[in-house]
Chains A and B, each alone.
Chain A
Amino acid sequence: MRHRGLVGLGVAALIALPWILSQGLLNASIQMLIAALFACAYNLLSGQAGMLSFGHAAYFGVGAFGTVHAMNAFRGAGLLPTPLLPVAGAVAGLIIGAIVGWFATQRTGPYFAMITLAIAELLHSLAPHLRGLFGGEAGVSTMRMPSLGLTFGSTTQVYILVLAWVLASLLALYLYMLTPVGRLTLGLRENAHRLRFLGYNVHNLSVLVFSVSAMFSGIAGSLQVINNEAANYVVFDSSVSASVVLNTYIGGVRVFLGPALGAALMTFFGYAVSDLTQSWLLYQGIVFALVMVFMPSGLAGLFEKSESLHRRFGAAPLAPFFAFALGAAVLIIAGAVFVVELMQRMFSQDYRALATTARPWPPIPLFGRQWSPTSPETWLVPVVSIGVGAACVFLARHVLFKLQDRQESRVSATPFNQH
């Protein structure tokens, strides 16, 4: 691991959080940690083994329900002491993962993707009918039991528990990549066909990887139930499967912690703006699509590229490039958000009711001002913002090309300059 110092610092910061953050933010941090683990578990299968699953909510949900029932066992005393509850999620995830994996890995590529989606949808449509298991509309609720002298009543204690399990799981996932099976997992992605001709049973291997990924997803689901003290069948919804896919690839699958980064960031933004907008999933989808087209290695890849640019050109010459890039990002995002939020309000039921009766159309309050949807000034704002942002993109690229040209001409002009 190249950034050992950075990771150590990060872990220390995470441990210190309960003494720095408010309860609300601490709760958000718990969700960020859980999403990060789920994304890394997912990435084991899709980024590292090359098997794209679109129904991973199934294993997260199975872990959740396995845990909630374990917590309620023995009339609430629980099958396991609270700190060990995620084991229930792990076992549930592992078993279901092995069964589903056996079926799903009979096919590859798009077939595999479709099968994983169908399984999750199967669970989602079956769950409300099986009240005993999934609790119907209301779901199943439970309570955390005290253990080891701790009540687990406060957010801080739950945070520490979640942090411990997430760090342990991430470490396990990282060490997994250093084992023979871990390397074989990469071989699966690169050329499963050739592995057969080297004597490996590719189906068995695939089932193994699938099960491990499902196991850690189950742990993530388990942690969510421990935090929320409830499990509901909406955990099998396709939006949960979609989220983990979006988070993982936005973060970047080439770097081990990339998915964790993407998940943490997206979860944080989702939490921060959930009161401000109804269109968060739209933004997430757009970001994902843009990342896939323009930044295939994700945000983590972006950091790596910036690092290598920094090494190549130095900080000072790059300053205008970063300034333009940042400006472009801010302006384009601002313009896009403005348009989406305006239209969100324009097309809402309330406004449409208003608009049919009142002419001209009443102004829409947004960002502290009133905007009239029929006046051109309103639409000029995002157009200008995005336009200037696009100009900044060109300027940034121009700066970069000039730097590259200068460096190349310097290199080719050194035959007589010995350093």
Chain B
Amino acid sequence: MNNAILTIRNLRKSFQQHEIIRGVNLDVMADERHAFIGPNGAGKSTVFNLISGNLTPTSGEITFCGQRIDGMPPQDINRLGLARSFQITNIFPRLTVFENVRLAVARAHRSQYNFWSFIDRAPRIREHTERLLEQVRLERRMSAIAGEMTYSEQRSLEIALALALDPKVILLDEPMAGMSSEETLYMAEFIRAITRGRALLIVEHDMKVVFSITDRISVLVYGEVIATGKPDEIRNNAKVKEAYLGEEVAR
């Protein structure tokens, strides 16, 4: 019946007197690509923060693989199999690109308390890292200092960090912001490929991308989901058109 891998029920978040998230309900299936759209300030990043543990909900439930994760610390949520990227690039600026990805990858190889082996001598970590870098087309920038790359290269790195640990659910927050149309096309295809068999929740403003790679779309306006459904249903939904998309969607 409900094989949703991620369930959100009546999620609310207030900052002092202001209620930013006003009762969000959402189901994400285990192998679905689900887009999260809405005007700026609707609260999409806030919902991501609530799901990933960056913020604690004021009330409501978030369930992942049958387990309640609302209020859990981010590292525990990540270890359960949920990973995210950030809207504002959140990398390790003065380390090399290789080092950045390796830090992410190393966790899967039980590195947290490992201080009796040399990381350079662990071939599996290096291969894993190199493979990931090839997939996001950063293999030629391996030795570059992450903070000195172009903005779109940093966004690719950001995505790589989210994917490093083979998560069951991936949250991508505007992953293609700042990329050229060629890069966006490549990235969209890459995201579609890499999320086969996984759940994806993606915040995106580029409607072409949204309509081409996602299975379902939820529209968030002023902290509430006003519509959920397949791309065509959303395209033709009057409330959505009125609140957000305007006439452009008809094209």
Contact = CB atoms under 8 A, between A and B. Distances in A.
Interface stretch (A53-61, A182-190, A225-233): A182-190
Interface residues of A, number: 26
A139 B107 CA distance: 47
Contact of A194 (B90, B106, B114, B165): B90
Nearest to B114: A180
A182 B115 contact: yes
Contacts, number: 94
A183 B90 CA distance: 18
Contact of A179 (B90, B93, B119): B119
Given A180-B106, A197-B74, A205 B112 contact: yes
Contact of A200 (B90, B91, B94, B112): B112
A193 B161 CA distance: 13
A184 B120 contact: no
Nearest to A198: B104
Contact of B75 (A176, A181, A187, A200): A200
What secondary structure prevails in chain A residues at the interface with B?
A: helix
A181 B93 CA distance: 19
B16 interface: no
B67 interface: no
Contact of A183 (B73, B84, B106, B164): B106
A208 B91 contact: no
A183 B112 contact: no
A195 B117 CA distance: 21
B90 A191 contact: yes
B112 A184 contact: yes
Contact of A187 (B74, B92, B116): B92
B31 interface: no
A201 interface: yes
B53 to A, nearest CB: 8
B165 A199 contact: yes
A202 interface: yes
Contacts of B86: 194
Contact of A201 (B75, B104, B117): B75
Contact of A181 (B74, B102, B114): B114
Given A178-B118, A180-B111, A205-B112, A191 B92 contact: yes
A202 B92 contact: no
A47 to B, nearest CB: 12
A183 B119 contact: yes
Given A187-B92, A201-B112, 20 more contacts: A175-B118, A179-B117, A180-B106, A180-B111, A181-B112, A181-B114, A182-B115, A183-B102, A184-B111, A190-B92, A196-B53, A197-B52, A197-B54, A198-B78, A198-B83, A198-B104, A198-B107, A198-B165, A199-B107, A200-B75
A-B interface, 5 closest residue pairs, ranked by CB to CB distance from nearest: A180-B111, A190-B92, A199-B78, A181-B115, A196-B74
